[in-house]
Chain A
Amino acid sequence: MSDAMTAADKGGGSSSLYLDRIRTMRHVRNGKERIIEAILFVAAFCAVAVTVAIVAILLYEASTFFAHVSLVEFLTGTEWTPLFERASFGMLPLLVGTVVTSFIAFLVAGPLGFLIAMYLSEFAPPKLAEVLKPFLELLAGVPTIVYGYFALLFVTPLLQKIIPGLPGFNMLSAGLVMGLMIVPYVASVSEDAMRAVPMALREGSYAMGATRFQTAMWVVLPASFSGVMAAFVLGVSRAVGETMIVAIAAGQQPNFTFDPREPAATITAFIVQVAMGDLPHGSIGYQSIFAVGLVLVVITLFFNLIGQMLRRRIREVY
């Protein structure tokens, strides 16, 4: 900048008029720039503030909860009745409900998502893939409440024809539909990982006379393995945190069972159940949803950190 000024100074004449203005503006400009940068920084720092606020609120409310309930009972008890006259605070039933529904969801979304990703990235003609992908995105955009309707009033009646005596609320239906819900997500994360595999590797394989399937299984899959695993882990994390489908279709009664045909509440369904009622602020029932919320955050955070680590690994290789 100073070079330009001295050159212009020598030129003299009318341009020096601008130079005066440029010089006097400099301080104003720098001040304004700093203010803007500060505002932008505050906005970005909001992300951190939200995280801190989440942790602080959960810890604060949960700490009063744990002043009344021992951590051992909370983590090992098999009866969860915080709203009863004689309350029990063993959260294992909620945990088991969450695990069972998430596991069923994974059984659906894992293989299906992987197959779709492999098909779109390695098999489908590019034009067809371009047509199919928006549909998957739309599927990912369907609100979970609609999936819940689908689980309760379409899938459950269908399952009742296959499994006689299946109750109207059951974990199987909720898990299956939850699986369908996360298929697009698992597929898209896996496909990203597969597309990140350089074309040179595929060409190396095709140049040896390998077929598409051989190239996909022996070259692309090993090269994108950690990314595909990340997709599975992140998908499970979504299932663990999913609320409405289980609250609608699996019932909201805590039930300590691994049988997917039975109704049971998950952590999230319990929070909904309490929030729907009229619990006074500060009561033990009110605090209990923060305690189980804390557990939910810890579980999903754990899965997400693993998932992101795996994802980062594939980015580092290529």
Chain B
Amino acid sequence: MANKERMALRGIIARNQRWDLIVGTVGLLATALGVIILTLLFVDLVLDGWHRLTPDFFLNFPSRRPEEAGILSAWVGSALVMIVTAFTAVPLGVAAAIYLEEYAPKNWITELIEINVTNLAAVPSIIYGLLALGLFVYILGFGHSVLTAGLTLGLMILPIIIVATREALRAIPVAIREAAYALGATRWQVVSDHLIPYASGGIYTGVIIGLSRAIGETAPVITIGALTFIAFLPPIPFSGDPPAGPFDWLFSPFTVLPIQMFNWLSRPQSAFHVNAAATGIVIIVATLAMNGIAIWLRSRIRSKLKW
């Protein structure tokens, strides 16, 4: 190739590569923007609410006086609701995933279920609130209770758990299943002795991510009519007079952290906004910690398990 042509070629390449540099830089900046915003969000919250995070803040009920108000009823409420949510969504989600992945024949019913799972994942969360308002609150008569909220959020995160479990099951090679069947195991034995244990890491990841979404979710819980001002705790089983039943707490009115935050945020006085920021810190630390654990768990599974 003649020298002149070569120089021309190099000119073209240099021009082409300018775009690489520009787009590469812009892309990096855009991605970094995500990291920056996350930091900004966090710093903003911490600067506003840090000084409210005293032990009293966790041990006090909400109050008219912002400096005395706390989140006791809210975090207890969140914890109780999460228990109900986990007990609803985990068995149901894992069972559904096992059915779809290991049992389901290829027919229209399976197809229908598949389409439904994908669509449910995309239904806006507030719609789950409307479902619960009509179904759990009024038709089934559970009222504005811990049970209603837990069931609602449980249904909401069902698709997350189903999808995560299915992915974990799918990652197990067919050879493992065949090895177990070849020894005379039944289908359920293959599932319970092999598939569930080997997929457990992926299932945990899905459960944690699902619960972290539920704990920060506000809209459906507002819709079912959670109260925003709760100055008592749900009854502890067998305590009080007359003694509370073992499941009375399920039917107790309640509030949760995001609702408490929303309530304070909706007030005009900036002193309550400080409380909202402090609650925000609690919520974001809880969700980010859960997400972080899930991401870490997943990367550990990926690096340890090589089929």
Chain A–chain B contact at Cβ < 8 A: yes
Interface of A toward B, CB cutoff 8 Å: 1, 4, 29, 32-33, 36-37, 39-41, 43-48, 50-51, 53-54, 57-58, 60-61, 112, 115-116, 118-120, 123-124, 132, 134-139, 141-150, 152-154, 180, 183-184, 209-214, 216, 234, 237-238, 240-244, 247-248, 268, 271-272, 275-276, 281, 289-290, 293, 296-297, 300-301, 304-305, 307-308
Q: Is B30 an interface residue (CB 8 A)?
A: yes
Q: With A and B bound together, what is the CA distance between A54 and B116 in angstroms?
A: 12
Which residues of A lie under 8 Å from residue B20 when comparing CB positions?
123, 211-213
Q: How close is A249's CB to chain B, nearest CB, in angstroms?
A: 10
Chain B residues near A120 (CB-CB < 8 A): 27, 31
* B44/A53 in contact, CB under 8 A: no
- Cross-interface CB contact of A242 among B48, B124, B273, B276, cutoff 8 Å: B124
B2–chain A nearest beta-carbon distance, Å: 18
A141 touches B127 (CB 8 A): no
Please name 18 pairs of A and B residues whose Cβ atoms are closer than 8 Å in the assembled complex, sorted by A: A36-B188, A37-B187, A39-B95, A43-B99, A46-B96, A47-B159, A53-B135, A54-B123, A61-B134, A115-B27, A123-B20, A124-B28, A132-B35, A135-B38, A141-B288, A183-B34, A247-B219, A276-B222
A40 partner, pick from B41, B95, B125, beta carbons under 8 A: B95
The CA-CA distance from A213 to B265 in the complex, in Å, is 45
In-complex Cβ contact of B41 among A137, A150, A238, A290 (8 A): A150
- Which residues of B lie under 8 Å from residue A137 when comparing CB positions? 291, 295
In the complex, are the beta carbons of B119 and A301 less than 8 A apart? yes
Let me know if B120 and A50 touch, CB within 8 A.
Answer: yes
A136 contacts which of B34, B103, B117 (Cβ < 8 Å)?
Answer: B34
Please state if A271 and B258 are interface contacts (CB–CB under 8 Å): no
How many Å lie between the Cα of A148 and that of B162 in the bound state? 29
Query: In the assembly, what is the distance between CA of A276 and CA of B284, in Å?
Result: 24
Q: Is the interface of B mostly helix, strand, loop or mixed?
A: helix
CB distance from B15 to the nearest CB of A (A): 10
A-contacting residues, B1-60, CB 8 Å: 13, 16-17, 19-20, 23-24, 26-28, 30-35, 37-38, 40-41, 44-45, 48
Asked if residues A241 and B126 are in contact (CB atoms below 8 Å), the reply is yes
Per-residue A-contact encoding for B58-91, CB less than 8 Å = 1, 0 else: 0000000000000000000000000000000001
Q: Which residue of A lies closest to B112 (CB)?
A: A48
Minimal beta-carbon separation of B212 from chain A (angstroms): 6
Q: How far is the CA of A38 from the CA of B86 in the complex (A)?
A: 22
Q: Name the one of B33, B125, B284 contacting A146, with C-beta atoms under 8 angstroms.
A: B284
- A-B pairs under 8 A by CB, number: 267
Give the CA-CA distance A300 to B155 in the complex, in Å.
18
| Docked-complex contact B119 and A60, CB < 8 angstroms | no
| Inter-subunit contact A304/B122 (CB<8 Å) | yes
With A33-B186, A46-B158, A212-B24 in contact, do A135 and B218 touch (Cβ < 8 Å)? no
B243 within 8 A of A: no
B262 & A145 in contact (Cβ 8 Å cutoff): yes
Q: Is the CB of A145 within 8 A of B17?
A: no
* Most chain A CB within a 10 A radius of its CB, from B24, B30, B216: B30
Closest chain A CB from B11 CB (angstroms): 13
Q: Is B261 an interface residue (CB 8 A)?
A: yes
Q: Tell me the chain B residues, 180-204 only, with Cβ under 8 Å from chain A.
A: 184, 186-188
Task: Check B188 against A123 for contact (C-beta < 8 Å).
Answer: no
What is the minimal beta-carbon distance from B50 to any residue of chain A, in angstroms? 14
Please tell me if B280 contacts chain A, counting CB pairs below 8 Å.
Answer: yes
Within 8 A of A (CB), among B83-132: 91-93, 95-96, 98-100, 103-104, 109, 112-113, 116-120, 122-131
The answer for the CA separation of A234 and B288 in the assembled complex, in Å, is 24
Q: A40-B95, A48-B112 are known contacts. Are A149 and B280 too (CB-CB below 8 A)?
A: yes
Choice from A40, A41, A145, A214 contacting B218 with Cβ under 8 Å: A145
Contact B95 A243 (CB under 8 A): no
Closest beta carbon of chain A to B204's beta carbon, Å: 16
B124 close to A138 (CB less than 8 A): no
